[in-house]
Chain A
Amino acid sequence: MTQHKIQFSPVMRVRGLDLYYGTAQALFSVDMDIPKHQVTALIGPSGCGKSTFLRCLNRMNDLLGSVSIQGKIEMDDGTDIYDKHQDPIQLRRQVGMIFQKSNPFPKTIYENVVYGLRIAGVNDKKTLDQVVESSLTRAALWDEVKDRLDQSALGLSGGQMQRLCIARAVAVGPEILLMDEPCSALDPKSTAKIEDLILELRGKYTIVIVTHNMQQASRVSDYTGFFYEGKLIEFDRTQQIFTNPKNQQTEDYITGRFG
Chain B
Amino acid sequence: MTIHLQKEIEKLKTMILSMSARVEKNFHDIAEAVVKVDVETAQRIIREEKEINSIELEVEEECLKCLALYQPVAVDLRLIVAILKINNELERINDFSVNAAERVLDLSGLAMESSPFDIRGMADKVGRMLSMSLDALINMDPQMAVEVCNLDDQVDEINKTIFQQVIAQLKAGSPQVEMLLLFSSISRYLERIADLASNIAEDVVYLVEGEIVRHQNLEGYDFHKGR
A: residues with CB less than 8 A from B are 214-215, 218, 242-248, 250-251, 254-257
- Chain A residue, CB-CB nearest to B70: A256
**With A255-B2, A256-B1, A257-B2: A243-B73 Cβ-Cβ less than 8 Å:** yes
Our pick among A218, A246, A247, A248 for the contact of B73 (Cβ within 8 Å) is A218
A243, B211: Cα distance in complex, Å: 10
A256 touches B5 (CB 8 A): yes
**How distant is B198 from chain A, measured CB to nearest CB, in Å?**
22
A245 touches B74 (CB 8 A): yes
A243 touches B210 (CB 8 A): yes
**Selected interface stretch from B75-83, B125-133, B135-143, B177-185:** B75-83
B145-175 vs A, CB cutoff 8 Å, 1 = contact: the mask equals 0000000000000000000000000000000
**With A255-B72, A255-B73: A243-B78 Cβ-Cβ less than 8 Å:** yes
**How distant is B164 from chain A, measured CB to nearest CB, in Å?**
43
Task: Note all chain B residues with C-beta closer than 8 A to A242.
Answer: 73-74, 77
**How distant is B156 from chain A, measured CB to nearest CB, in Å?**
31
Task: Note all chain A residues with C-beta closer than 8 A to B211.
Answer: 244
A254, B2: Cα distance in complex, Å: 10
Q: List 29 A-B contacts (CB under 8 A).
A: A215-B71, A242-B73, A242-B74, A242-B77, A243-B73, A243-B77, A243-B78, A243-B210, A244-B74, A244-B78, A244-B210, A244-B211, A245-B74, A246-B227, A247-B227, A248-B227, A250-B74, A251-B75, A254-B73, A255-B2, A255-B72, A255-B73, A255-B74, A255-B75, A255-B76, A256-B1, A256-B2, A256-B5, A257-B2
> Which residues B52-81 have CB closer than 8 A to chain A?
71-78
A251, B77: Cα distance in complex, Å: 11
A48, B74: Cα distance in complex, Å: 21
> Which residues B167-225 have CB closer than 8 A to chain A?
210-211
**How distant is B75 from chain A, measured CB to nearest CB, in Å?**
6
Task: Note all chain A residues with C-beta closer than 8 A to B2.
Answer: 255-257
Task: Note all chain A residues with C-beta closer than 8 A to B71.
Answer: 215
A246, B75: Cα distance in complex, Å: 11
A251 touches B5 (CB 8 A): no
B227 touches A254 (CB 8 A): no
A256, B6: Cα distance in complex, Å: 10
**How distant is A252 from chain B, measured CB to nearest CB, in Å?**
9
A165, B226: Cα distance in complex, Å: 45
A218, B71: Cα distance in complex, Å: 11
Task: Note all chain A residues with C-beta closer than 8 A to B227.
Answer: 246-248
B74 touches A243 (CB 8 A): yes
Task: Note all chain B residues with C-beta closer than 8 A to A257.
Answer: 2
The 10 tightest CB contacts between A and B, nearest first, are: A244-B210, A256-B2, A242-B73, A251-B74, A254-B73, A255-B76, A255-B74, A254-B74, A245-B74, A248-B227
**How distant is A48 from chain B, measured CB to nearest CB, in Å?**
18
**How distant is A220 from chain B, measured CB to nearest CB, in Å?**
15
A255, B71: Cα distance in complex, Å: 10
**How distant is A43 from chain B, measured CB to nearest CB, in Å?**
11
A233, B132: Cα distance in complex, Å: 36
**How distant is B173 from chain A, measured CB to nearest CB, in Å?**
58
Task: Note all chain B residues with C-beta closer than 8 A to A256.
Answer: 1-2, 5
A256, B72: Cα distance in complex, Å: 9
Task: Note all chain A residues with C-beta closer than 8 A to B5.
Answer: 256
- Chain A residue, CB-CB nearest to B2: A256
**How distant is A195 from chain B, measured CB to nearest CB, in Å?**
15
A30, B73: Cα distance in complex, Å: 25
- Chain A residue, CB-CB nearest to B77: A243
**How distant is B182 from chain A, measured CB to nearest CB, in Å?**
45
> Which residues B1-21 have CB closer than 8 A to chain A?
1-2, 5
Task: Note all chain A residues with C-beta closer than 8 A to B73.
Answer: 214, 218, 242-243, 254-255
A92, B74: Cα distance in complex, Å: 36
**How distant is A204 from chain B, measured CB to nearest CB, in Å?**
29
A10, B227: Cα distance in complex, Å: 27
Task: Note all chain A residues with C-beta closer than 8 A to B78.
Answer: 243-244
- Chain A residue, CB-CB nearest to B227: A248
